[in-house]
Every structure is written in C-alpha cells, then in structure tokens.
Amino acid sequence: MSPLNHKSAILIIGGGTWGCSAALQLARRGHRRIKVLDSSRFPSPSAAGNDINKIAEEANLPFENDSDKDYAWNRIHQLAMDAWKHDPLYAPFYHPTGFIMSACGSEAYNQVLKYVSGRESQFMTLRNAADFRATMPKGILTGDFPQWRGFWQKDGAGWVFARGALEAIHAEAERLGVEFVAGSLQGKVEALLYSDDGFTILGARTTDGAQHIADQTILAAASTNRVDRWYTKTYQFSSMPSAASSSNQTDASNHEMKICDEHPGYCNFVRVNGELRSVPFVRQQIPLEAEQRMRRLLHESMPTLESHEFSFARVCWDADTVDRLFLIDRHPKYAGLVLAVGGSGHGFMTMPAAGIIVADVLEGILETRLRTMLRWRPETAVDRNWQDTQDRFGADGKVMDFRDVRKWTQIRGDDAKL
Ligand SMILES: Cc1cc2nc3c(=O)[nH]c(=O)nc-3n(C[C@H](O)[C@H](O)[C@H](O)COP(=O)(O)OP(=O)(O)OC[C@H]3O[C@@H](n4cnc5c(N)ncnc54)[C@H](O)[C@@H]3O)c2cc1C
C-alpha cells in the first residue's frame, strides 16, 4: 500500500455526523480524492445528527496531570469548542444559553450531584418550582415541578442547531470537492473489499454491486458497527407557541420544540450467528410509553403544552461503547481501515473534534494520549453486560427491549422533515 498523500483515494462509509466532519477536515487539509457513501439521501433519516438540536457542554482545559480519561475528554471538548466558537462554518450554530440538569427521583438526583461534583461554583442550585420558573422568560415554565431538584449552568454550555451544522458542513465539503454518493442502492455499503491475502481493505461494495476502490477506508456508519452497543432513543417534536421556542433559532419559524425521552435506552436484540446484537431500524413513531413519559414531563414543567398534539416523532439510534469513549483508530488487523464510531451520547457536540481526530489517525499524527484512550479495545467488551445502564437514568432505570413494546404512537408525521 502506498503512503498516504493528497492524491490517495479515501472512502468514507457513512455521511452522517462524523462522516461529514471527517470529509470536511480531510478536504481542508488538501486531500483531493474523497468519496462518502451513505445509504440514504442527505441528511439520512437514520443519522443521529439529523435533528433539531443537541446539548453542547464546554469542559475544563486539558492538563498534563489529568487522568488519561479526563485528559482525553477535556482535549476532545477543547478541539470541538474551539470550532463551535471560532470556526466561521460551525460558530453560527452554537448557542451558549446554559443548561439545566435536574431530577425528581433520589437515584437520578444522586447522578445529578455526581455530575456537578467539584464544579459546584459553576452551577446555580434549583430547589423549588419558583427556582425552575425563574430560569426562563415568564410564562414558559409554569408547572409545579413536584420534587424536582437540580442545577442551572448559566455559562459554558448550550445547544447546537444540529441539522443546520450538518448541512453546512456537507455543503462546504462538497464545495471543496468531496464526492457524496447516497441512496439505498448506490450508497448503501453491503461489504468491505479485501485483498487476496485478506489483510488489507481495498474499499467497499454497495448494494448495486459497484465496487468503490480506495487506498484508505473510514468506517463512520455509527450503529452498524458490531463492537458497539446500540441504543435507541426517542424524539418528539411538538407544536409550540413561538415564545417558548425562542431557544431554537431556525425552528422557531416552525414553532416546534424537541423533547427527548432520555433513559438507559432501548435495544432491538437479534441473534446473528449465535451472537447477540441490537439491530437498528428506521421508524417515525415511538413507543406509546415514551409519549406518556413526555406528557408527564410537560405536565410537571409546561402544563399548557401537556395536551398539545405532537407534530413528529422518530426513533433515534446511537452507539455506546462500554466506557462511553469514542473508538477512532486504525484496525489492528486490516491495513487501510480506520474506525470512527461510538458517539456514546456525546458525539454531536464533539463533531468538529471527531473530524480532526479521524484525519489525524489517517495521517498518523494523533497525539499519544488521545490515541491510547480512543484505541481499538475489544478487551473492554468481553462478556459485556448488555443490561448495564452506563450511568444513564430515566424511565424505570433499565435498558429496555423493543420486543416488549406492544403499542406505538400514531402521530401524523411529516416525512419532509427527514
Ligand atoms: C436521542 C439522542 C440524543 C442525543 N443527544 C446528544 C446531545 O445532546 N449532544 C451530543 O453531543 N450528542 C448527542 N447524541 C449523540 C450524537 O447524536 C451521536 O453520537 C452522533 O450524531 C453520532 O454520529 P455518527 O456519525 O457516528 O452517526 P450518524 O450521525 O447516525 O451517521 C451515521 C451515518 O451512517 C449511514 N449508514 C449507516 N449504515 C450505512 C451503510 N451500510 N452504508 C452507508 N451508510 C450507512 C447513516 O445513513 C448515517 O448517515 C444523541 C443521540 C441520540 C440518539
């Protein structure tokens, strides 16, 4: 295999959050032959990043004497936040409004305390309904907030307009010469292509039978990666009075607000060759139990919206690694293959960093401490406990199984949004 240079053919499988970010970063560094394959037209209905908004948190600056995990996390956030604040392409989409972390059950509240521990001075304590109501303009939070306790981080956090950022990055990558091939036939990867000795990846084959030959292949197809746990989260979008959607610039015009039913997740378990796997599917409805949880949230916080009709819903997938750190590394066995997966619930705010790290891995210049923490590490997944909630809470505090879901919503969806 010839050494990487700007004329090397680079194939990216998955044109979602990380695939687009990697394509942009590589194009900005002068790579001229980049092709991105995606199974759906852009933005893909199954891409986790195809969404109204995502929470973004700033972190402490990385220090030499941080633990390796803290260092990795702080460094990734530093790279990402630098882009969200200063890169003209990303910056319009970051809104540093602050955020609220709260709970009404004691177990969940302990997690909240763990989250703020050591950083208490950055947070304002919220003890009762009046405290919660005062965090937003009058008339938005009118609920009684029964037993709610939490914290308000006013600075160093906010939200990003996810779909807007994704579209901007996609457009800029295309402008810089990246070729995007999308669709269930011509963009959906069915298999990797191997060299005769089986030790080098030569590209990928799509459903239409086409072979996409490349010097380097980057797998950024999210939850299709078998080493990762697949979590399903549910989203709902509800019609909103415009005042209440003031936190969302673009979709204020649609008067819509997103609610995410956060919990340890749903899996869709199937056995493949005797191995337990959770296989994602696209569905623009959610379990009825999820809708009920969301309506309870509205009842307690924004009761004027409690009976509002929901305008759209979808199941959203993310891949959690065991330690919830990303996996961005060259495959140890197959030359020419880079893995970029395992967003683990925080892969959007770190999107700019993911692109930089993928490019660094490809070019062999990733700093050692990040390389160590984001390395290929199958040993962490031996005898993986699929019921481990991984510090997530909500619903009944358990990992749920789609096979147990009997009733789904019947929300009149708007496919055009996807
Ligand atoms: C409910 C929910 C809430 C979240 N909230 C936050 C948050 O607040 N803040 C945050 O930072 N992160 C959040 N995340 C996590 C974040 O959205 C993900 O970690 C991140 O978007 C993952 O990026 P990705 O590129 O790996 O995957 P995706 O964006 O899902 O992209 C994967 C792409 O691969 C394509 N693909 C799949 N299979 C194939 C194939 N065979 N061939 C070709 N293409 C294929 C798909 O079509 C898709 O475009 C959340 C995730 C969920 C589910």
Q: How far is the CA of 418 from the centre of ligand 1 (A)?
A: 14
Residue 256, beta-bridge partner list:
239
Query: Which of 154, 176, 197 finishes a domain?
Result: 154
Q: How close is the Cα of 318 to the center of ligand 1, in Å? A: 6
Helices (H), 313-401: 351-363, 368-373
Number of domains in the chain: 3
Residue where one domain finishes, among candidates 154, 174, 189: 154
| Residue whose pair of structure tokens reads 């037209």 in the numeric block | 41
> Does 59 share its domain with 194?
yes
Cα 14 to averaged position of ligand 1 atoms, centre (Å) = 9
The answer to whether the CB of 170 is under 6 A from ligand 1 is no
Which pLDDT score is estimated for 224? 45
DSSP 133: H
Do 346 and 313 have their domain in common? no
Residues 332, 208 within the same domain: yes
Same domain, 51 and 18: yes
**How many other C-beta atoms lie within 10 A of the C-beta of residue 52?**
22
Residue 311 lies in a domain: yes
Question: Residues 274, 407: one domain?
Answer: yes
Q: What distance in angstroms lies between residue 377's CA and the mean position of ligand 1's atoms? A: 21
pLDDT at 262: 82
> How many CB atoms are located within 10 Å of the residue 96 CB?
17
* Helix/strand/coil (H/E/C) assignment for every residue in 204-263: EEECCCCEEECCEEEECCHHHCCCCEEEEEEEEEEECCCCHHHHCCHHHHHCEEEEEEEE
Query: What does the pLDDT read at residue 251?
Result: 55
Give residue 84 CA to ligand 1 midpoint distance, Å.
18
- Structural domain for 62, as ranges: 9-93+161-226+322-381
Per-residue pLDDT of the chain (418 residues; tens, 9 = 90+): 778 999 999 999 999 999 999 999 999 999 999 999 999 999 998 898 988 889 999 988 999 999 999 999 999 999 999 999 999 999 999 999 999 999 988 888 998 999 899 989 999 999 999 999 999 999 999 999 999 999 999 999 999 999 999 999 999 999 999 999 999 999 999 999 999 999 999 999 999 999 999 999 999 997 643 222 222 333 333 333 222 222 333 455 567 788 888 888 888 888 888 877 788 888 888 899 999 999 999 999 999 988 888 888 888 888 888 899 999 999 999 999 999 999 998 999 999 999 999 999 999 999 999 999 999 998 998 888 888 988 888 888 898 999 999 999 998 754 434 4
User: Contact 25/90 with Cβ under 8 angstroms?
Assistant: no
Binding site membership of 318 for ligand 1 (Cβ less than 6 Å)? yes
Atom of ligand 1 nearest to the CA of 16: 31
220 lines ligand 1 (CB under 6 A): yes
Residues 83 and 182 in one domain: yes
Q: Is residue 238 part of a domain?
A: yes
> Cα(58) to centroid of ligand 1, in Å?
20
| 3 domain-assigned | no
Whether residues 260 and 141 fall in one domain: no
CB of 31 shorter than 6 A to ligand 1: no
How remote is the CA of residue 317 from the centroid of ligand 1, in Å? 7
Instruction: Tell me whether strands 157-161 and 123-126 are parallel, antiparallel or unpaired.
Output: unpaired
**Residue having the nearest C-alpha atom to atom 49 of ligand 1:** 16
| Contact predicate 36/217, CB 8 Å | no
36 and 85 inside one domain = yes
C-beta of 44 in contact with ligand 1 (< 6 A): yes
Ligand 1 contacts CB of residue 355 (under 6 A): no
CA-based Rg of the chain, rounded to a whole angstrom?
A: 21
Same domain, 16 and 87: yes
Q: Which helix (H) or strand (E) holds 71?
A: helix 68-86
Of 39, 97, 192, the residue with max ligand 1 atoms within 8 A of its CB, to mutate for a pocket test, comes to 39
85 within some domain: yes
Q: Is the CB of 20 under 6 A from ligand 1?
A: no
Report the C-alpha gap between 397 and 382 in whole angstroms.
24
Residues 37 and 184 in one domain: yes
Task: Say what the pLDDT of residue 278 is.
Answer: 82
Q: Is 260 in the pocket of ligand 1 (CB under 6 A)?
A: yes
Q: Is 201 touching ligand 1 by the criterion CB < 6 Å? A: no
**Looking at residue 29, what is its pLDDT?**
98
Q: Is 1 part of a structural domain of the chain? A: no
Residue 7: what pLDDT? 97
| Among candidate residues 154, 176, 196, the one where a domain is terminated | 154
The secondary structure of residue 38, as a DSSP letter, is E
pLDDT at 84: 98
Whether 194 maps to a domain, the answer reads yes
**131 C-alpha vs ligand 1 centroid, how far in Å?**
34
* Ligand 1 probe mutation, 54, 57, 235, 266, most atoms within 8 A of CB: 54
Q: Are 47 and 13 in contact (CB under 8 A)?
A: no
> Which ligand 1 atom lies nearest to the CA of residue 350?
11
Residues 58 and 144 in one domain: no
Backbone φ and ψ for 308, nearest 5 degrees, come out as -60, 145
Work out which ligand 1 atom sits closest to the CA atom of 18. Answer: 25
Query: What pLDDT was estimated at residue 252?
Result: 52
Identify whether the C-beta of residue 260 lies closer than 8 Å to the C-beta of residue 234: yes
The answer on 212 and 346 residing in a single domain is: yes
Q: Which of 52, 245, 81, 78 is nearest to 165 (CA)?
A: 52
- Whole-angstrom CA distances from 93 to 21, 28, 49, 104, 162 are 14, 20, 13, 31, 7
CATH code of the domain containing 35: 3.50.50.60
CATH code for position 258 = 3.30.9.10
- Would residue 105 count as lying in a domain? yes
Say if residue 373 is exposed, middle or buried (CB neighbours under 10 Å; 0-12, 13-18, 19+). Answer: buried
